[in-house]
Amino acid sequence: MGGIEFLKGHGTQNDFVLLPDPDGRLELTEARVAALCDRRRGLGADGVLRIVRSSALGVESGGEWFMDYRNADGSIAEMCGNGVRVFVRHLVDSGLVSERDFVIGTRAGDRPVRMHADGSVTVRMGPATITGTSVTVVAGKPFSGVAVNVGNPHLVSVVEDDVDVLDLRDQPDFDSDVFPDGVNLEFINLLGENALKMRVHERGVGETRSCGTGTVAAVAAALHLAGTDTGEATVDIPGGRVVVEVHRGGSTLTGPAEIVARGELDETWWAGLG
């Protein structure tokens, strides 16, 4: 067998194809990423995580390993909280990292992580910065929201009706002047003290079962609307539950990570997408 190694994993059902490429030799084009993530002509995923050494990319990082993350449409993204957890799970399970506490490089900067004995992972996500307000429109209905940057852009809208009734099959409208590079759109119900329910439409992907940076943005926005910038909450998403802590200048995300399969991509198929 001489194909290209892959793994399949998920974090609260936000699923990824992982491509081990320590020396940075794979040519990861938009067409190849889009095909891999297609659920009919590829393996199917919300994104691709290339596992590459920071030094192979010439990236200055405090971590040996860099998470080269691509959205399902092939576009490059800065950060993915669920993806980091799956990335960490593979590094530890495969013996590429022996410590339980280490650092991962991302386009949003270094992310310290901790692998727990139960298979869950805590990621220090950096600051969740409130950047203003804007409006999104779902099926003709406008929702005001709080703009939050978690290394990537988010707009969080508190919804009075159950978020389950929203039709997120199509891309909701948003203000491209405010978000020229696109935006992740979170819709949340406040379930009481320290608990949220969320659905998300991710840029470059569509609706996903979970979004790690989105859960951090959601908690930061809810705290902001309550007049504070510090707190902890559980966030229920369609794919499960995570715990988010936000404090002044930083945040953490804790949740499960699973590796479900591994195999090899056919080299002829891969070459045909080049």
Token pair of 213 as six digits: 């940076």
Q: With residue 90 as reference, give the H or E element that holds it.
A: helix 81-93
* Options 211, 216, 220, 237, the catalytic residue: 211
CA distance 137 to 126: 29
Answer yes or no: 37 catalytic.
Answer: no
The beta strands (E) that lie in 12-152 are given as 14-20, 47-53, 65-71, 101-106, 109-115, 121-124, 129-138, 141-149
In sequence order, what DSSP letters do the residues of 169-237 get, joined into one string? SSPPEE-TTT-TT--EEEEEEEEETTEEEEEEEETTTEEES--HHHHHHHHHHHHHHTT-S-EEEEEEE
* Options 17, 79, 80, 253, the catalytic residue: 80
Residue 243 backbone dihedrals phi, psi, to 5 degrees: -120, 130
Catalytic site positions: 80, 211
